[in-house]
Structure 1
Amino acid sequence: MQLPFIVSAGEALTDLVTAGGNAWHAHPGGAAWNVARACASLGVPSAFAGAVGQDNFGDDLIRASVEAGLDLRFMQRVPAPTLLAVVYSANPPAYRFLGENSADLHFDPTRLPAGWLRKARWLHVGGISLARWPLADTLLGLIETARAAGVKISFDPNARITHRHPDYPKVFEAVARRADLMKFSDEDLAFFFPGVSEADVLRRLRGLNAQAPIIVTRGAQGATLYHAAGQANLPAAPVQVVDTVGAGDALCAGLLVSAAERPEALWSEHLRVGLAAAAAACAHAGAYAPTRADLNL
């Protein structure tokens, strides 16, 4: 089995979603895992790098990873419970994470397959994993190792309540300085920079990293690409929206797959692929992983 072009590192978790009363539905998830799954679905050798528990939820995540075609050599199992996201209200959305000493925190990059850094083109990070310790420090070390080997870094912070941690801003800045691509939703910007105009946010981000393309997604209004030559506004791909679950992760996957396959192409072209992948996710219920056929490009 060949080593992956794209590695997404961080958290895999179980979304435990209320179905009313005492009924709950369990779904494999986690931002990093969702991105890896979508990259594999789009036909590029991909892996999720992280740890899950030796429990029934870990079994479900392993099974779903096999079905997705992910490289299981990057997925570790440890004697600790799998991280849970308990969604106790669907409307309005309300959730909490159950993850004290959970499996994700025990990820060990030294156990990854030999030679993976020579093959990988992109390492993707983000989600809540960078606001959970000691995992955040582990991932910062992995980023440094990957950069030294010439692997490019993609960063999608994907704002969640855990990012209120007082130590997170330092991690955010450290990753932003090292990123080769940054992706935010307009809601992310409002969360991380409350009351600050987008122009001022861009100035702050450019103070950390003058070169990396910055993509800001705007739901039905499409996305804006900020890059060295200026900016470009791209419309959302037309779609009959079923729900928007997983659209941001699908967009990241489209970006990464396009950038891995066609590194010489313009970032506006990569973003067009990302927007098509996001539209495909919106056309299906749940965290749908788009396929190459869905893109219609």
Structure 2
Amino acid sequence: MHPILAVGLGEILWDVLPRTRLLGGAPANFAYHVNALGGAGVPVSRVGDDDLGREALSLLVCLGLNIDAVSLDEDHPTGTVDARVDADGVATYVFPDDVAWDFLTLDQSALTLAANADVVCFGSLAQRGEVSRRAVHHFLAATKKGLKIFDINLRQDFYSAEILAASMDAADVLKINDAELDVVTGLFSLPQGEQPALRALMERHDLDLAVLTRGDKGSLLLSPDTVSDLPGEPVEVVDTIGAGDAFTAALALGHLKQWPLDEINRYAAKVAAHVCSQPGAMPEMPRKLRLA
């Protein structure tokens, strides 16, 4: 049996912390974690033809990822983000404009990958510019059989109601955190309360599954006829960078394996807790969490 082919579609960037620099970007993190859990994760992105871009590609190869769908941009630099981690390990981010992933382009090999993908995860950040927004939706349209997960990933003011609505329309699964749900509830005049708000989004956008993460307060999964609401996994947090992406990767694998919602929820929470206990977005995954 072939491993699950999972695409992380969007940004690759360097998280620049006060004392170090770590490779990240939610789609790249997602691809890494799928790979680390036993699937075949592949990033589709763009980096600059510069030292940071070459270092990113080299590191992705060392991490075991296929980089055939990561293109080089001769005109724009590799993306970076200034990440600040507070006393509780929670990260906030500031993103420079006009970097390589804002100009994502798709060649035929990327479109072939779209047609063969079992799952594609994408967010709103990579859609802040028109070029990459078109590329993201072109890729999604070419995804014939794959599950499409919109991990909303609101950053700064790089989103609009139109972008979010179109992305939910294109998706099968919505993944959102509690702070983002507050923003989206106001933006779309949703009913108050987690489940009513998520149910409204599911109905409006014909979603199969809605997923809410609340950090250490647990996670909620809603399908049309099932609810899974579980407490968080106890963990000593080093930082939260990449934890949401790890949750999404584990969720994708469990969902494609048709596990019950409680089993998916529990597994994803364990994976995310492990990432919280380690520095950076792409820590090594213990064998006990791998599916193969």
Is the TM value for this pair above 0.5?
Answer: yes
Tell me which of 39, 42, 53 is aligned to 1:58.
53
Count how many residue pairs are aligned between Structure 1 and Structure 2. 282
* Residue 223 of structure 2: aligned partner: 227
Measured after TM superposition, the shift of residue 200 of structure 1 is 4.5
Alpha-carbon distance between aligned partners in 1 of 2:38 and 2:150, rounded to the nearest angstrom = 21
Distance 1:241 1:17 in 2: 16
Q: Go from structure 1 to structure 2 and tell me whether the alpha carbon gap of 1:4 and 1:109 turns closer, same or farther (over 3 Å shift).
A: farther
| CA spacing shift, 1:49–1:208, aligned 2, 3 Å | same
Aligned identity (percent) is 24
Query: Normalization by structure 2: what TM-score?
Result: 0.87
Letter in 2 for 1:183: K
Flag the 1:62–1:239 CA change in 2: closer, same or farther, 3 A. same
Shift of 1:270: 2.1
Shift of the alpha carbon at 1:3?
Answer: 9.2
Q: What is the letter of the counterpart of residue 205 of structure 1? A: L
Change (3 A) 1:113 1:31: closer
Alignment deviations for residues 106-145 of structure 1 (CA, whole Å, 9 cap, x no partner): 2222243574245310011015102232211211121112
Q: Give the equivalent residue in structure 2 for 1:191.
A: 183
SS in structure 1 opposite 2:78?
A: coil
Structure 1: distance between partners of 2:106 and 2:26 = 19
Distance 1:154 1:161 in 2: 21
SS of aligned partner of 1:188 = helix
Q: 1:31-70, aligned counterparts within 5 Å?
A: 31-70=26-65
1:174 corresponds to: 166
Tell me which residue corresponds to 1:119. Answer: 116
Q: Distance in 2 between matches of 1:117 and 1:287?
A: 25
> So what's the TM-score if we normalise by structure 1?
0.85
The AA in structure 2 aligned to 1:6 is A
| Equivalent residue in structure 1 for 2:141, among 125, 141, 144 | 144
> d(CA) in 2 for partners of 1:290 and 1:252?
17
Q: How does 1:1-297 map to 2 (within 5 A)?
A: 5-19=5-19, 25-79=20-74, 80-87=76-83, 89-91=84-86, 95-100=93-98, 102-113=99-110, 115-146=112-143, 149-163=144-158, 165=159, 168-194=160-186, 197=192, 198-260=194-256, 262=257, 264-289=258-283, 291=285, 293-295=287-289
Give the Cα–Cα distance (whole angstroms) in 1 for the partners of residues 203 and 16 of structure 2: 39
* Unaligned stretches of 5+ residues in structure 1: 20-24
Matched residue SS, 1:72: coil
How far residue 4 of structure 1 moved from its aligned partner, in angstroms, is: 6.7
For 1:220, what is the secondary structure of its paired residue?
Answer: helix
| CA contact 1:277–1:290 (8 Å) conserved in 2 | no
Structure 2: tracts of 5 or more residues without a match: none
| Cα pair 1:159 1:191 within 8 Å, conserved | no
Letter in 2 for 1:275: A
How many angstroms does 1:218 deviate by?
1.2
Once residues 4 and 71 of structure 1 are traced to their aligned partners in structure 2, the CA distance between those partners, rounded to angstroms, is 14
Q: For each residue in 1:207-238, what CA deviation from the matched residue of structure 2 results, as whole angstroms up to 9, or x when unmatched?
A: 32244110111111211111111422122233
Q: C-alpha root-mean-square deviation of aligned residues, in Å?
A: 2.5
SS in structure 1 opposite 2:145? Answer: coil
User: Which of structure 1's runs of 4+ aligned residues deviate more than 3 A?
Assistant: 89-95
